[in-house]
Amino acid sequence: MPRSVPGDLLGQVEAIFALLTRDTAIWQELSARFSGRLFCGLFLEEGNEGLRICSKTLAEIADRGLYLDFDIYAAEGKQADQAADK
């Protein structure tokens, strides 16, 4: 999946799921046998940013029995220093 700048988490999740089956019986079988996860790297531009995930997307992830994992990377350089001074 190509990167989106700025990130479009919801669009990327939709694009990934569009390539896969929507059959929840198959997903339940897979999640009973394996530990699946949706991994997201979040790169902050500032020291304090928010992220909202709509309930529809959360439900689609949960319906597939997937974990949602985040690696969050703090802003670096001048912007991070300015945020720390606030």
Banded pLDDT at 48 (limits 50, 70, 90): confident
Number of independent structural domains in the chain? 1
Q: Is the pTM value of this prediction over 0.85?
A: no
For the chain, the 3-state helix, strand and coil shares in percent, each to the nearest 5, are 45, 15, 40
Mean pLDDT of 32-46: 90
Strand locations in 8-66 (E)? 37-43
Q: Provide the domain limits for residue 31.
A: 9-85
Asked if the structure places residue 2 within a domain, the reply is no
Asked if the structure places residue 1 within a domain, the reply is no
Asked if the structure places residue 41 within a domain, the reply is yes
What's the pLDDT score for residue 21?
Answer: 95
Banded pLDDT at 83 (limits 50, 70, 90): low
Asked if the structure places residue 4 within a domain, the reply is no
Rounded distance between C-alpha atoms, residue 25 and residue 59, angstroms: 15
CA distances from 66 to 5, 49, 52 (A): 25, 25, 18
Banded pLDDT at 4 (limits 50, 70, 90): low
